[in-house]
Amino acid sequence: MSLKSFIEVQPESDFPIQNLPYGVFSTASNPKPRIGTRIGAWVVDLAMLDEEKIFNKPYGFFADPTLNRFMSAGRAAWREVRQHLTGLLSSDNSPLKNEALMSRAFIPVEEVRMHLPVAIGDYTDFYASREHAMNVGIMFRGKENALMPNWLHLPVGYHGRASSVILSGQDVRRPRGQVLPPNESSPQLLPSRSLDFELEMGFFIGTGNHLGERISAKNAHEHIFGMVLLNDWSARDIQAWEYQPLGPFLAKNFATSISSWVVTMDALEPFRVAGPIQDPAPLPYLQPFDQTQGKPDSDYGYDINLEVTLQSVSMEMAHVISRSNLKHIYWSIVQQLTHHTVTGCNMRTGDLCGTGTISGPTEGSYGSLLELTWRGEKPIALPNGETRKFLQDGDIVVMKGYCQGEGFRVGFGEVTGKILPALLIN
Ligand code: CA
């Protein structure tokens, strides 16, 4: 018999007792942002439970407007809180089974306003899906040079922009930038004509490392607090003109959307799977090692079903344009974090890393319009007769993700964003 809460949760809900993600919310009656968890259709006010001394000891940090202090408390504290909450929401003699307390601490999800859950110091974006790297490589450089010589030896990434990480639901303004229009010899400053999304997941650093030290593949997983859905909005025409020799810059710095609830690594633990076979074998520093079993541990893939929908202004319903899965990525998040710090680069609590676009092996599983439409050569047909090469003004992109357990899901909710027209003035 699997764990059950006394709070009713529908089987298709992303938020059963097995999940218990963390987010930051406020309400009309209490506009102060504070930390909550989610169960079914309810947000549970953890600041209030802490204040009412419902936990075995006071934590204090739940009244903060970000998760950072909780994240910096470390893995033992994360596990302790999760254990407390699991007990509180499932045991027969739970102190939560009190009508007056529940009516204050449990808030219907439609009555809360969500806030960016983490104060993000630094944001790094990887490029860890072999299928995505191959597809983009073929389009930009041809089949012979698709995968760069380094790609199978290290998780490629770049340092992104933390200031423009936004919460799901916030609109995205079409960026203007320098592009070289087709058949022109000189560049122009124009609104992007090939605005795209990238289906990614993000992981948050809970505890960091000191400058000059590094995080080893053996315990990199202990530094990761949790994951969110991430849409790395990308302007392909700006990217194509600017990306050599240093990689993405303005093509990706105008907006990166994340989902509201941070799903913990403990909630995702049952859904770990082996990643793709890595050939050639990576250098030893990139090989996670399972100390309990005394052997290399490649099982740092996660079986997370992902879906992207698009809805134009004139469509009544969203239309699924891609289905993928995090398990497809070649370089695991543990390898990404390990590689990031190998030089002694210090990660800090609240830093965000993107996995890179998660494309699967089939055409319907590609994680960007660039790939789905093959750079606009094969436009997507929408059910109302419209077609898309890239995003139009008014388009709404929604990404969802969940792990399927036996009779329950551990899900992420969604990350959504609507495209607004570029500003008229330069
Ligand atoms: Ca990306």
In a domain, 49, yes or no: yes
How does DSSP classify residue 131? H
What integer best gives the mean pLDDT of the chain?
95
For ligand 1, the distance from its centroid to the CA atom of residue 248, given in whole angstroms, is 9
Give yes or no: residues 129 and 107 share one domain: no
In a domain, 215, yes or no: yes
Closest CA to 9 of 39, 44, 37: 39
For ligand 1, the distance from its centroid to the CA atom of residue 373, given in whole angstroms, is 17
In a domain, 359, yes or no: yes
- Report pLDDT for 120: 98
For ligand 1, the distance from its centroid to the CA atom of residue 22, given in whole angstroms, is 24
In a domain, 11, yes or no: no
For ligand 1, the distance from its centroid to the CA atom of residue 354, given in whole angstroms, is 7
* Domain total in the chain: 2
In a domain, 35, yes or no: yes
- Of 65, 91, 115, which closes a domain? 115
- Of 115, 150, 165, which closes a domain? 115
The percentage of the chain sitting over the pLDDT mark of 70, rounded to a whole number, equals 97
In a domain, 129, yes or no: yes
For ligand 1, the distance from its centroid to the CA atom of residue 200, given in whole angstroms, is 7
Closest CA to 298 of 306, 310, 290: 290
| Beta-strand pair 352-354/123-126 | parallel
In a domain, 318, yes or no: yes
What's the average model confidence in pLDDT over 316-341? 97
> Of all helices (H) and strands (E), which one includes residue 242?
helix 236-242
Closest CA to 268 of 317, 182, 204: 204
For ligand 1, the distance from its centroid to the CA atom of residue 28, given in whole angstroms, is 36
- Report pLDDT for 425: 74
Q: How far apart are the first and last CA of the chain?
A: 62
Give yes or no: residues 127 and 107 share one domain: no
What's the average model confidence in pLDDT over 186-199? 97
Give yes or no: residues 183 and 97 share one domain: no
For ligand 1, the distance from its centroid to the CA atom of residue 93, given in whole angstroms, is 47
Give yes or no: residues 252 and 341 share one domain: yes
Residues with a catalytic annotation lie at 132
What's the average model confidence in pLDDT over 333-337? 97
- Report pLDDT for 2: 73
We report the CATH number of the domain holding residue 56 as 2.30.30.230
Give yes or no: residues 230 and 349 share one domain: yes
In a domain, 172, yes or no: yes
Domain extent at residue 104: 22-115
Give yes or no: residues 38 and 80 share one domain: yes
- Report pLDDT for 291: 62
- Report pLDDT for 271: 97
- Report pLDDT for 295: 64
Give yes or no: residues 75 and 175 share one domain: no
pLDDT band at 146 (very low <50, low <70, confident <90, very high): very high
Give yes or no: residues 204 and 102 share one domain: no
- Of 115, 137, 152, which closes a domain? 115
Give yes or no: residues 65 and 149 share one domain: no
The burial of 189, by beta-carbon neighbours within 10 Å (0-12 exposed, 13-18 middle, 19 or more buried), is given as exposed
The pTM (predicted TM-score) of the whole model is 0.97
- Report pLDDT for 299: 77
Give yes or no: residues 381 and 245 share one domain: yes
We report the CATH number of the domain holding residue 352 as 3.90.850.10
Q: pLDDT of 389-419, one tens digit each? A: 999 999 999 999 999 999 999 999 999 999 9
- Report pLDDT for 267: 98
Give yes or no: residues 186 and 82 share one domain: no
Give yes or no: residues 408 and 349 share one domain: yes
Residue 294 has pLDDT above 70, yes or no: no
Closest CA to 301 of 129, 136, 85, 80: 129
